[in-house]
Amino acid sequence: MSRWFPAAVAATLLMTSSASSQPSFPTKPVHVLVPYAAGGAVDILARTLGDAVSKQWGQSVVVENRPGAGGVIASQALVASPADGYTVMVVASGHPTNPFLYPKLPYDTFKDFTPISLLASSPNILLVRADSPYKTLADVIAAAKAKPGSLSFGHAGTGTSQHLAGTLFKSMAKIDIEPIPYKGGAPAINDLLGGQIPLSFNNGPEAVGQLQAGTVRALAVTTAKRAAFLPDVPSIAETVPGYDTEVWWGLLGPRGMAPELVEKLSHDFVAALNADEVKQRLAKLGAAPIGSTPQVFDAKIHADYDKWGPIIEAAGMKAE
């Protein structure tokens, strides 16, 4: 190169050459942490999307189940991971409520994570056994008012969306029904089938198999409008005006991720959600794809923190 070649032009060429030589993401397997056991709704969603994005990338996606403490264990692992996009986590709607259940979290719910995309949502469903005497939501409310404290509902654990759905129903319907915690939605359904509890709140992916088998009956869904996969099942709001809640799932990374990397991950996971096979799989599970921007997901986390915090505190909920 001539010594008269402008230094600024040379620097630009060097930067361009360096950028073009950088390998595109990803160049090795991407790990997706799941804060719950295999076979649950979060696990199914993570594996379904993992298969789809691995086809886009030509790289494998490794789903790692890190269950325990309502997602705290997996969240700790994510916070400790490099912000290079090779470790992300699928969280459920309990993520923004954990600060109210675990007073001494080993991370900051807002500062230590990077929102990537709000992935999908599902209503929770109020279930009874197929032979239950309760045919409608009004039947349940009438029975609870006739004998306060005589009814109970199962849920997947303290502070889960199912627990919150039942607590909100109890509050807004002005009835006294006892919450019974389980270690997941499946055990709650098992006790419902066994007659140990008369009611259970479960999300769509947990309930759809039993609904199809005819072993349980859906009395109502928790979203403001009826669910597309259960068009004949009324919403709780049709009996209790203003009632509205759901379970959602989203993708987080550790804090400090480069904006362009966040945008790529968001774009690629949204593209996976729009794939026909993924949409069909989610529809069968009773989940609706969303695929939001990082900004929309961040706003959702803050909104749920503000919405549920006072309800959790008023109910005196604490992690078990």
Please provide the DSSP assignment of 153-168 as one string.
Answer: EEESSTTSHHHHHHHH
Query: 290: domain range?
Result: 28-122+247-315
Is 165 a member of any domain? Answer: yes
Question: With 50 as the cut, is the pLDDT of residue 290 above it?
Answer: yes
What's the rounded Cα separation, in Å, for the pair 239 and 241? 6
Q: Are residues 114 and 252 in the same domain?
A: yes
What's the rounded Cα separation, in Å, for the pair 232 and 18? 59
Average pLDDT over residues 164-190: 93
What's the rounded Cα separation, in Å, for the pair 52 and 289? 14
Q: Are residues 255 and 111 in the same domain?
A: yes
Q: Are residues 55 and 203 in the same domain?
A: no
Q: Are residues 162 and 297 in the same domain?
A: no
In angstroms, the first-to-last Cα distance of the chain is 70
Average pLDDT over residues 289-303: 97
Average pLDDT over residues 100-106: 91
Is 181 a member of any domain? Answer: yes
Q: Last residue of some domain: 238, 262, 284?
A: 238
Task: Give the pLDDT score at 151.
Answer: 98
Reference 48, options 283, 278, 267; nearest CA is: 278
Taking each helix axis as running N to C, give the angle between helix 259-273 and helix 276-285, from 0 to 180 degrees, rounded to the nearest 10.
Answer: 70
167, 205, 189, 248: CA torsion to nearest 10: -20
Is 22 a member of any domain? Answer: no
| Residue pLDDT, tens place only, 21-53 | 346 899 999 999 999 878 778 888 999 999 999
Q: Which of 38-52, 259-273, 284-298 has the lowest mean pLDDT?
A: 38-52
Q: Are residues 93 and 177 in the same domain?
A: no
Is 285 a member of any domain? Answer: yes
Q: Are residues 135 and 159 in the same domain?
A: yes
Taking each helix axis as running N to C, give the angle between helix 294-315 and helix 161-172, from 0 to 180 degrees, rounded to the nearest 10.
Answer: 60
Q: Are residues 112 and 143 in the same domain?
A: no
Task: Give the pLDDT score at 37.
Answer: 78
Q: What is the CATH number of the domain that holds 176?
A: 3.40.190.10
Whole-structure pTM value = 0.82
Task: Give the pLDDT score at 23.
Answer: 60
Question: With 90 as the cut, is the pLDDT of residue 184 above it?
Answer: no
Question: With 60 as the cut, is the pLDDT of residue 81 above it?
Answer: yes
Q: Last residue of some domain: 179, 210, 238?
A: 238
Average pLDDT over residues 150-169: 92
Q: Are residues 199 and 139 in the same domain?
A: yes
Q: Last residue of some domain: 192, 212, 238?
A: 238
Is 9 a member of any domain? Answer: no
| Residue pLDDT, tens place only, 193-242 | 999 999 999 988 889 889 999 999 999 999 999 998 999 999 999 999 99
Question: With 70 as the cut, is the pLDDT of residue 19 above it?
Answer: no
Banded pLDDT at 17 (limits 50, 70, 90): very low
Domain count, the chain: 2
